[in-house]
Amino acid sequence: MKMMDGRNFRVRYHGIKISTLEDFARLRGGSRQSMKDVCFVRAVGTYPGLAEDIEKMDNLLTGQMNAGICRYIRINVLPMPSGSEEISAYAGCYDKWVKTGKKRMDMAEGNEEFRQAAGQALTEALALFRKAAPNATSTIERNFAVKLLYWFDKICAGLAGQWRLEASIKIVLPNISKMQEYLFSYFLTQLGIDVLLLQCSVDIEEKLERLNLSEQLELGMICRFTIPEYHVPGDSFRDAADAGDGRETGKVRTGNSRVSAAYRQDVRTSSGSEVSQIESGSSTVQAYEENGAIRESRPVVRLPERRRKSRESGILGSGRLQEPGAQTGASGGGKQEGAADSRGMEAPPFSGNSRPVGSIVRDSRPGVLRRELEFEELALLASSVVMIVIHDQRGEIAGTGSGIMVGKDGYILTNNHVASGGVFYDIRIEEDDQVYTTDELIKYNPVLDLALLRIQRRLKPIPVYGGEKHLVRGQKVVAIGSPLGLFNSVSDGIISGFRSVDGVDMIQFTAPISHGSSGGAVLNMYGEIIGISTAGIDRGQNINLAVGYENIRQFIRGFV
């Protein structure tokens, strides 16, 4: 990038050896002729007295911050987006950066030098992302960029407006092991920020280490260690303090979310756009009973928050709430609400149009006959339905759900309200003792309530129905999921109707489901996916809803 005097801004990584946390605190990067010296250090492992040394580093840098010498930020966990309005602002900023030649970030805050530095830093980070993930699609790359901008905004509140070449800024992050988190740390250094990673309990994998981005400081053995929290005194650097302490300041409300003024723009995405994670688990959609069966109290589907696991009991929260008029998602969720609403219309039966090119149908090859399967044979497909354990920012269990193997290269389909809010997920597969942990949320669509996860394992996917014939009322179905944490329960029923839920075609079916079933498979008698379990109405018996195969087929195209 060019500085105001026309010179190119560059960063140079220190050749000075960092031997202690105090060395990091005292090191000052020089700046001359548009060149900024920075350091990027991983302090790996623990030793007796580490907690005290971390607090000494905090005290030293806090004193320097109060004296106006530097700005210091230390956080305990990377934040996660809380709503689609928030994501739209960052996505809009990225899209404008792409359209304008990837030269500068067009933000409401920050001087021109910072905007150009941010644009250049994003270019560098994305180049490394493509190197580390060569098979990533443009959508995945965009999602990664959006996450970088979100993290910077939340952690570095106010920095954009104060940034200058000679400023000394130090940021300390805990236990960074995932690729996206590590490249975010590198992104910060490309803005002239000194970064220290406290790798007490975990470190990056070998393929990231081969990128040679950071210096390693060996402290001792990696083990379980509680990093002391950073308590910032109230002073003139309150923006920095709030960013380091996980609170939010300098934010403006956008709908139900808060977005820093640095990214506040008139940005809109289409309601069905598939953008980076994460939509809140409180989206409201309306469903209506057919033929006036529950006409006097049209229920609202409120996709639930996930149930919290009690530290004392270790037991997940209760099952369905029996609130009149309430309709709940079938995941391991919590609070539900019901409300009357006059909007919405009944959808006609699924069209059953001829199958488009590229749709997925088992046994549609010439000479291969499809046949109806016995219930015992259908139950064997449970090995291709997984249990998803959702973990929050602190690593605690936030709830459970189900997922369907749809791509042999590790792709698992679930509901967006199952995936939303999770920082990472444990995937359990029937007859496999290994737990597959992942944070790869490949894509999601909050309108269709669909999300796609990926794990590092070859899978046996279930085929998606191709729509050769109309689905009809009375047609037999089988549901497979993990209700209430009971791994892979199988139930049978029939299609009892077709609904429109906020414009999304859904199947009403009677096969019993409960909390934790969200994301499970609804199959026809040929063992093909015709829907994904999404919600249930508590005030009625076995009144459940599934997103239909047509939307599923479109959503997973290109990944199977």
Q: What is the pLDDT of residues 168-181, one digit of tens each?
A: 889 999 999 989 99
Distance CA 202, CA 204 (A): 7
Give the confidence band of 392 by pLDDT, cuts at 50, 70, 90.
confident
Is the pLDDT confidence value at 106 over 70?
yes
Residues 218-235 as b or e (16 or more Cβ within 10 Å = b): ebeeeeebebeebebeee
Give the confidence band of 45 by pLDDT, cuts at 50, 70, 90.
very high
Is the pLDDT confidence value at 145 over 70?
yes
Mean pLDDT in the chain?
Answer: 74
| Predicted local confidence at residue 451, as pLDDT | 94
Give the pLDDT mean for 343-371: 40
| Predicted local confidence at residue 507, as pLDDT | 92
| Predicted local confidence at residue 396, as pLDDT | 85
Q: Which tokens belong to 291?
A: 């033929």
Distance CA 109, CA 431 (A): 53
Is the pLDDT confidence value at 185 over 80?
yes
In this structure, the dihedral spanned by the alpha carbons of residues 515, 518, 520 and 524, taken in order and rounded to 10 degrees, is 100
Number of CB atoms found within 10 A of residue 77's CB: 14
For residue 37, what are the contacts with CB-CB under 8 A and spacing of at least 6? 11, 12, 13, 14, 29, 30, 31
Is the pLDDT confidence value at 558 over 50?
yes
The DSSP secondary structure of 372-408, one letter per residue, reads PPPHHHHHGGGGGEEEEEEE-TTS-EEEEEEEEEEET
Give the confidence band of 77 by pLDDT, cuts at 50, 70, 90.
confident
8 A C-beta contact, residue 216 and residue 42: yes
Helices (H) and strands (E) in the chain, counts: 12, 26
Report which listed range, 133-137, 183-187, 287-291, is most confident. Answer: 183-187
Q: Which tokens belong to 452?
A: 């796609």
| Predicted local confidence at residue 153, as pLDDT | 86
pTM: 0.52
Q: 140-144, 147-151, 296-300, 363-367 — which is least confidently predicted?
A: 296-300
Over the stretch 461-482, which tens digit does the pLDDT of each residue have? 999 999 888 899 999 999 988 7
Is the pLDDT confidence value at 279 over 90?
no
End-to-end CA distance of the chain: 41
Amino acid at 366: P
**Does residue 328 come out as left (phi exceeding 0), alpha (psi in the -120 to 50 range) or beta?**
beta
Over the stretch 236-270, which tens digit does the pLDDT of each residue have? 333 333 333 333 333 322 233 344 444 444 333 33
Distance CA 69, CA 64 (A): 5
Is the pLDDT confidence value at 52 over 90?
yes
pLDDT > 90 in the chain, percent:
32
Give the confidence band of 363 by pLDDT, cuts at 50, 70, 90.
very low
| Predicted local confidence at residue 340, as pLDDT | 33
Number of CB atoms found within 10 A of residue 115's CB: 21
Give the confidence band of 504 by pLDDT, cuts at 50, 70, 90.
confident
Report which listed range, 157-171, 383-397, 452-466, 469-483, is most confident. Answer: 452-466
8 A C-beta contact, residue 155 and residue 242: no
Q: Which tokens belong to 333?
A: 């969720």
Give the pLDDT mean for 103-122: 79
Over the stretch 305-326, which tens digit does the pLDDT of each residue have? 333 333 333 323 323 323 333 3
